[in-house]
């Protein structure tokens, strides 16, 4: 099925690794040109560089080193995208940061709050404004914000993270109302626990340790799965597929201001 994405230009923040890299691949497979915005061009251990991988897949791609929390860098990202490809049709605000390990609220550090707010909330504001200016001049566009079910349900060890993501949910609804008359749609994708490369690495490390460490990890995993009606965690590809759906003018041309969970039913359990 033609999703209407061929020839469009998608800007993906946090696009060099994890969920973002899968989103970039998905756009490339649909014939879109991709602007990869991230601090580094590829996550540790992943080669080739993200933009090169997309070109190897037959796509057009540009990597732009970007700290989304800095307003001037978000503006420069938009300018680089237009200079390279002439337009911006889609923005995916995927960049995020959270401390590892995550802790209870009374143990969280204010410096960590600041970094989460800068990357998640301020980054989404910066990039949305920069790309919306270009989209308004075109009379069309789609913004997809990657949030989290932690913003919708609440998590004891993700208090500030969930709050920052919840702010992006509010931003999305306001963007949908404010930009809708200009032909721009804004929606959210809310993943639950997702099996990224980091997820697999942490799991492998715990299991390799053996003994009580492995047993505790597997026990926590078993208990966590009970909160997922589908009894499985998601994949980066699951999230990427929904991002494509909400970006598509064919599938979602009359959809805006919505939050779609991609979490195996976690939010309703």
Q: Quick check: is 161 catalytic?
A: yes
Q: Do 120 and 160 touch, CB atoms closer than 8 A?
A: no
Q: What angle do CA 171, 176, 178 make, to 5 degrees?
A: 90
Q: Do 51 and 63 touch, CB atoms closer than 8 A?
A: yes
Catalytic position from the list 161, 217, 228, 266: 161
Q: Do 174 and 132 touch, CB atoms closer than 8 A?
A: no
Helices 123-138 and 159-179 cross at an angle (nearest 10°) of 20
User: What's the N-to-C CA distance of the chain in angstroms?
Assistant: 33
Host H or E run for residue 59 = none
Mind telling me the catalytic residues?
161
């Amino acid at each position: 099925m033609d999703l209407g994405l061929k020839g469009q230009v998608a800007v993906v923040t946090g696009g060099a690794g994890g969920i973002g890299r899968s989103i970039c691949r998905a756009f490339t497979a649909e014939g879109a040109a991709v602007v990869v915005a991230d601090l580094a061009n590829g996550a540790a251990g992943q080669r080739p560089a993200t933009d090169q991988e997309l070109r190897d897949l037959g796509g057009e791609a540009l990597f732009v080193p970007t700290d989304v929390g800095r307003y001037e860098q978000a503006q420069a990202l938009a300018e680089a995208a237009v200079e390279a490809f002439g337009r911006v049709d889609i923005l995916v605000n995927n960049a995020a940061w959270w401390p590892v390990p995550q802790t209870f609220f009374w143990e969280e550090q204010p410096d960590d709050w600041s970094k989460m707010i800068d990357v998640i909330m301020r980054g989404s504001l910066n990039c949305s404004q920069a790309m919306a200016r270009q989209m308004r001049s075109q009379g069309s566009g789609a913004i997809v914000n990657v949030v989290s079910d932690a913003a919708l349900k609440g998590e004891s060890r993700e208090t500030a993270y969930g709050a920052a993501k919840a702010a992006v949910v509010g931003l999305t609804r306001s963007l949908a109302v404010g930009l809708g008359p200009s032909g721009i749609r804004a929606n959210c994708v809310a993943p639950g626990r997702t099996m990224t490369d980091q997820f697999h690495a942490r799991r492998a490390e715990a299991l390799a340790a053996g003994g009580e460490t492995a047993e505790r990890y597997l026990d926590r995993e078993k208990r966590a799965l009970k909160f997922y009606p589908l009894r499985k965690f998601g994949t980066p590809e699951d999230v990427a597929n929904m991002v494509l759906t909400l970006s598509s003018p064919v599938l979602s041309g009359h959809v805006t201001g919505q939050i779609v969970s991609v979490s195996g039913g976690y939010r309703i359990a």
